[in-house]
Structure 1
Amino acid sequence: MNAYIFPGQGAQFTGMGLDLYEQSPLAQELFEQANDILGFNITDIMFEGSAEALKETKVTQPAIFLHSVILAKTLGDSFKPDMVAGHSLGEFSALVANGSLNFEDGLKLVSQRALAMQKACELQPSTMAAVLGLEDAAVEAICKATEGVVVAANYNCPGQLVISGEINAVNAACEALKEAGARRALVLPVGGAFHSPLMEPAREELAAAIEGTAFNKPNCPIYQNVTANAVTNETAIKSNLISQLTAPVRWTQSVQQMLADGASLFTEVGPGKVLQGLVKKIDRASEVTSATFESSL
């Protein structure tokens, strides 16, 4: 069974999508449509902008979404997912890929999500940290014992977990985690505490937008971050998507469930190879690859 997986924030790079734009009339049309929907030329930033400009949340999230979704659309008949999943932001790309959302609605929601998260970040200084070399349960226990808001946010692969919360609480948890034997507990260069209770204002804002958007019956199951299980019901998909901003990304558990349900090949669609690396760490025997567009021009 073919599992298609879609990356999240952090996979961006200068020049992303330019090859698609230059070689595919369909891609060019979709990129131009995206510029109109967003009200600014995101293509200029993606193709020629600085790494700094690309790092802005309001740019990064739509840029990664566009790269993934447009690449998937240019694959034509060869794109036949049996199951899909996306890491955080990548869940929106996955929902367009499996027909739950149309391109325009997906892009609008991603843009609204990015702006809502940016606002939530500005309300309260917060951060995230990567923790390597400890069992999940040990990380969860230390977060629980730390004063202030700090929670497990991303279960990326065994021995790699990201925590999220208030700056002081994250710093204190990092010290305690190192004392407990973590190989590393490193604060990340991010502007906020994604997938933590501090994203509640963004969750409320995004909930209204998601509730007001039409979702279709998907053509294959999506393994959502919140549940790590196959979901095909539109109401459940919406509910999980709303919960996602304040709940952890259960990537390890999602991949394990996809394998249990018969996934034999994981194809990453979008910039970078981060998810392929995580899949191999979750299950060394898994077959992974990148989606590539073959130009007929």
Structure 2
Amino acid sequence: MNAYIFPGQGAQFLGMGLDLYENSPLAQGLFEQANDILGFNITDIMFEGSDEDFKKTKIAQPAIFLHSVILAKTLGESFKPDMVAGHSLGEFSALVANGTLNFEDGLKLVSLRANAMQEACDSNPGTMAAVLGLDDDIVEKICATTEGIVVAANYNCPGQLVISGELEAINKACEALKTEGARRALVLRVGGAFHSPLMEPARTATAAAIESTTFNKPNCPIYQNVTGTAILDESAIKANLIAQLTAPVLWTQSVQQMITDGATLFTEVGPGKVLQGLVKKINRASEVASATFDANS
């Protein structure tokens, strides 16, 4: 069975999508439609912007969404997912890929979510840290016993967990994790404390928009971050998307469940190869690939 997976924030790179824009009339039309929907030329930033531009959540998230979704649409008849999943932001790309959301609504929600997250970051400063080489339960225990707000945020693969929270609490937790034997406990260069209680204002701001958006019946299951399980019910998908902003990303659990349910090939659609690496760390036997656009097809 073919599983298609979609990356989240951090996968962006300058120039991404330019090959699609220049070689596919379909892609060019969708990029121009995106410029109209957003009210500014995000293509200028994607193709010719600066690293500083791409550090902004409100730019990076819609840019990654566009690259992933438009790439999927250019694959034509070869794009036949049996199941989909996305890492954080990538969940919106996955929902367009499996027909739950249309392109315009998906982009509008991603842009709203990104701006709400940017505002939450500005008003509630926080950060994240990658923890390597410890069992999840040890990391969870240290988070629970550290003063301040610090939680497990991304279960990326066995032995790799990202924590999120207040600046001082993250620093304290990192010291405790190193003492406990973590191979690394490294504060990340991110805009804020994603997937933590500090994102509550963003969750509130996006909830009404998600609830009022039309979600179609998916043409294949999505394995959502909040549950790590296959979801086909539109109302459950909405509820999980809303909860996702303050809940952890259960990526390890999602991939494991997809394998249990028959996934044999994981194809990453979008910038980078981060998710392929995580899949291989979760299960070495899994086959992985990158979706590629063929200008001659």
Q: 1:47-58 alignment to 2 at 5 Å? A: 47-58=47-58
Aligned mates of 2:66, 2:273 — CA distance in 1: 17
CA contact under 8 A between 2:14 and 2:50: conserved in structure 1? yes
The equivalent residue for 2:223 is: 223
Q: 1:101-116 alignment to 2 at 5 Å? A: 101-116=101-116
The equivalent residue for 1:78 is: 78
What secondary structure, in the 3-state scheme, does the structure 2 residue paired with 1:73 have? helix
The equivalent residue for 2:139 is: 139
Q: What is the CA-CA distance between 1:296 and the residue it aligns to?
A: 2.7
Structure 2: segments with no counterpart, 5+ residues: none
Aligned mates of 2:70, 2:125 — CA distance in 1: 34
Q: Tell me whether 81-90 or 52-61 shows the greater mean CA deviation.
A: 52-61
The equivalent residue for 1:46 is: 46
Q: What is the CA-CA distance between 1:218 and the residue it aligns to?
A: 0.3
The equivalent residue for 1:150 is: 150
Q: What is the CA-CA distance between 1:54 and the residue it aligns to?
A: 1.6
The equivalent residue for 2:15 is: 15
The equivalent residue for 1:182 is: 182
CA contact under 8 A between 2:56 and 2:191: conserved in structure 1? no
Can you list the C-alpha shifts for 1:54-98, whole angstroms capped at 9, x where unaligned? 221111000000000000000000000000000000000000000
- CA-atom RMSD in angstroms: 0.6
The equivalent residue for 1:251 is: 251
What secondary structure, in the 3-state scheme, does the structure 1 residue paired with 2:85 have? strand
The equivalent residue for 1:24 is: 24
Structure 1: 4+ residue segments shifted above 4 A: none
Aligned mates of 1:196, 1:54 — CA distance in 2: 22
The equivalent residue for 1:4 is: 4
Q: State yes or no: 1:121 paired with 2:125.
A: no
Aligned mates of 1:133, 1:296 — CA distance in 2: 45
What secondary structure, in the 3-state scheme, does the structure 1 residue paired with 2:101 have? coil
Can you list the C-alpha shifts for 1:242-281, whole angstroms capped at 9, x where unaligned? 0000000000000000000000000000000000000000
Q: What is the CA-CA distance between 1:124 and the residue it aligns to?
A: 1.5
Can you list the C-alpha shifts for 1:150-177, whole angstroms capped at 9, x where unaligned? 0000000000000000001000000000
The equivalent residue for 1:68 is: 68
The equivalent residue for 2:193 is: 193
What secondary structure, in the 3-state scheme, does the structure 1 residue paired with 2:162 have? strand
What secondary structure, in the 3-state scheme, does the structure 2 residue paired with 1:193 have? coil
Q: 1:201-280 alignment to 2 at 5 Å? A: 201-280=201-280
What secondary structure, in the 3-state scheme, does the structure 2 residue paired with 1:37 have? helix
What secondary structure, in the 3-state scheme, does the structure 1 residue paired with 2:246 have? coil
Structure 1: segments with no counterpart, 5+ residues: none
TM-score (norm 2): 0.99
Identity of aligned residues (%): 81
Aligned residues: 297
